[in-house]
Chain A
C-alpha cells in the first residue's frame, strides 16, 4: 500500500459575508497517496477551488477553517504559523498552478526574474541568482520552451497562453514539490494546446514523482489523466473511486448525472443537462444537498445528511440509496 501524502480530516471552511458565516466546505475527508493523481471534479461553485486554496492557505481574510485537520506527511499543517508554513510548505513541498495563465504571471516583471525568485527562495537565499540561472534555463527547456536563454529576458505579454502555462508548470516543478495543486490548468486553453499541456504534465509527474490534486470540471480531461476521482457537490465530497470504476459504475446519482452530461460526438441525441442549479450558499436544502435535483430522492433524503461510506473496496459514496 503506497504511503499517504495528504490526509484531510473532517474539514469545514466558512466565508464571512455581511456578518454571517456561510459554510463553503463541510465534512471533507480525502486522502492522497504518493505519486497519485487525484482529480477533484464538480460544477462551478461546488467548492473545488476553495479546497485547493485551503490546503495552500491562499484563502482570503474573510474565510476561516471552522474545523478539521489537514495532515501533510504526518504533520498537521493547520497548526503551523504563517511564517513556518511559508518557509516549509509553499514552494518547498507544495505548489499551485492556476486556471488562467493570462493572469498568473506578473505583467511588469521579466519571466526570468519571476522564475529566479521562486528558485532563490526555494534555496532559502543560499544561492545567488546567477548560479540559479542555469537551473532555470534548464527547466524552461524541459517544459518545451524553445530558445529559453532568450525567452528568459522577455515579459509575460510576449508569451502565448500555452507558453505561459508551460512557464507556470516550470515554476511549479522547479521546487520539486511533493504535492502540486492544479486548479483547472487547461480550462483557458484551446483543445490542441490543452492536450500538449496535459501530456507535459504527465511527463513531469513521472519524472518528479509528484502527487497531484487536479481540480477540474471536465470529466473528459481527468478520465485520461487521473488515478482516482473525487466528485464534489455543494461543498461536500459525494463520491470517491478509481477513475475506471467511477466511469464504469458510478454510484452517486450526481456522478451519474454528470457522466450523462458528457457530450458524445458519435451520438446525435441532444446534450443532457442536470435540471436546477447548485444551491445558493445562503440557502442550502435540508438533508442531502443534492435531493432537489435528484430523480431518485425519497423522504429520508430531505431529512438526514448522508455520510461518505465505503460501498466497495476503495469506492466511497454518500447516498441513502446504498442504505435504504
Chain B
C-alpha cells in the first residue's frame, strides 16, 4: 500500500515537468514575435526589449527554462503583463470559486449518475430502464453551454427561482443559492456519462459467478446490489471521475462566462484574449495541477476498493 502510493506520488514529478516544458515552449511555439503580438503594432523598440527581458526571451531557451523552473519552485509565477500584479495572487483570488464549482458539479454528477445507473441496472430490461437510459443519453449529449442557458431560461427567467449571475454576497446560503444553477449546468453531461457507465459496470458485475454464490447462500438482493456488486463495479467509475475533473475544469469556462462568475477558467480565457502570457502559463499550470491531484486521488482510492492493488 505504502509502496503503491509512493510510486503514484513519484510519477507526479515527470508529469509536472512535462507540463512545465509545454507551457514554457508556448512563447516559442506561438507564431510571430511574442513581444510584437503582445504589444501590438504601436510598440517602440525599447518597450519590446523590456518585455523580452521580462519574458526571458533575450537569453538562450535552456537558460530561460532553468530560470522559469527556479521561479516556479520558489512559488513565483511571474507577474501579469498588464495588470502589474502577481499572477499567483490573481489566481489564488479566483481559484476557490472554480474549485467549489467543480466539486459541486462533480458531486452532483456522481450522485445523480450513480443513482440513475443503479436504478437502471436494478430494473434492467424494463420500460423504466429504457426511460432512464434515454435520460442518460440526453444528458450525456447536452453541451455545458446549452445546459447553462436552458437552466437560466427555465429557473431564472420563467420561474425566478435561481439567480442568473454572480456569486452572491459571500453568505453561506447566498453562495449555495448562486451555486445551484452553475453546478447543475456543469454536471449535466457527466451525469449521463456516469449513469451509463454505472449501469454497464453493474450489469457486468451482476453477471459474475460470485454474485450467484452470494445469492445461493441467501444474501438478500438489496445487499448484493449495494454492498457486493457496487464495490466491485465502482472501479471504472472512479477512473472516469478522475479524468472527468479535467473535463469539468474545461466546462467551468463556459459556466463561469454564462453565469458571470469569477474563476480560473474565465481568467485563462480572458488572459488568452489579452495575450497575457505569464497569466496564461500560471492559469494552465494550476489547472494542470488540479487535474493531476484529482487523478492521484482516484488512483489512491483504487487501492481502497481493490485489495489486489494494495498488495502490488
Query: A interface vs B, CB < 8 Å?
Result: 53, 56, 58, 61, 86-87, 89-92, 94-96, 98, 100, 103-110, 114, 117-118, 121-122, 155, 157-158, 168, 171-172, 175, 181
Bound state CA distance, A158 and B208, in angstroms?
19
Bound state CA distance, A90 and B209, in angstroms?
16
CB neighbors of A among B220-279 (8 A) = 220-221, 223, 228, 231-232
Q: Would you call A95 and B217 a contact (CB within 8 A)?
A: yes
- Which of A56, A95, A108 sits near B232, CB closer than 8 Å? A108
- Which of B208, B220, B223, B307 sits near A103, CB closer than 8 Å? B208
Q: Would you call A121 and B216 a contact (CB within 8 A)?
A: no
Q: Would you call B219 and A91 a contact (CB within 8 A)?
A: yes
23 contacts between A and B (CB under 8 A): A61-B125, A86-B220, A86-B221, A90-B217, A92-B218, A95-B216, A95-B218, A96-B216, A106-B210, A106-B214, A106-B232, A107-B210, A107-B232, A107-B306, A107-B307, A108-B231, A108-B232, A108-B306, A109-B228, A117-B214, A121-B219, A121-B223, A122-B218
- For the complex with contacts A106-B232, A107-B307, 19 further pairs of A-B residues with Cβ separation under 8 Å are A58-B212, A61-B124, A86-B218, A86-B221, A90-B215, A90-B217, A91-B216, A98-B216, A103-B209, A103-B210, A104-B210, A105-B210, A106-B214, A110-B307, A121-B217, A121-B218, A121-B223, A157-B307, A168-B213
Task: Report chain A residues within 8 Å CB of B137.
Answer: none
Q: Would you call A117 and B223 a contact (CB within 8 A)?
A: yes
Q: Would you call B221 and A98 a contact (CB within 8 A)?
A: no
Q: Would you call A175 and B307 a contact (CB within 8 A)?
A: no
**Which residue of chain A has the shortest Cβ distance to B205 in the bound complex?**
A106
Q: How many A-B residue pairs have CB under 8 A?
A: 85
Query: B interface vs A, CB < 8 Å?
Result: 124-125, 208-221, 223, 228, 231-232, 305-308, 311
Q: How far is the CB of A257 from chain B (nearest CB, A)?
A: 31
- Which of B216, B232, B308, B311 sits near A90, CB closer than 8 Å? B216
**Which residue of chain B has the shortest Cβ distance to A171 in the bound complex?**
B217
Bound state CA distance, A58 and B209, in angstroms?
11
Dominant SS among interface residues on chain A: mixed
Q: Would you call A91 and B213 a contact (CB within 8 A)?
A: no
Q: How far is the CB of A82 from chain B (nearest CB, A)?
A: 8
8 residue pairs, one from A and one from B, having the closest CB atoms = A91-B218, A96-B216, A90-B218, A103-B209, A155-B307, A91-B217, A118-B217, A106-B210
Known contacts A61-B125, A107-B232, A108-B232: A56-B307 contact under CB 8 Å: no
**Which residue of chain B has the shortest Cβ distance to A122 in the bound complex?**
B218
Bound state CA distance, A168 and B307, in angstroms?
20
Q: How far is the CB of A6 from chain B (nearest CB, A)?
A: 15
Bound state CA distance, A92 and B306, in angstroms?
30
Bound state CA distance, A103 and B208, in angstroms?
7
Bound state CA distance, A215 and B88, in angstroms?
70
Q: How far is the CB of B160 from chain A (nearest CB, A)?
A: 47
Q: Would you call B308 and A118 a contact (CB within 8 A)?
A: no
Q: Would you call B220 and A121 a contact (CB within 8 A)?
A: yes
Bound state CA distance, A232 and B122, in angstroms?
35
Task: Report chain A residues within 8 Å CB of B125.
Answer: 61
Interface-centre pick from A61, A107, A122, A171 (highest chain B CB count, 10 A): A107
Bound state CA distance, A107 and B311, in angstroms?
13
- Which of B124, B218, B228 sits near A106, CB closer than 8 Å? B228
**Which residue of chain A has the shortest Cβ distance to B215 in the bound complex?**
A58
Task: Report chain A residues within 8 Å CB of B311.
Answer: 158
Interface-centre pick from A90, A108, A117, A121 (highest chain B CB count, 10 A): A108
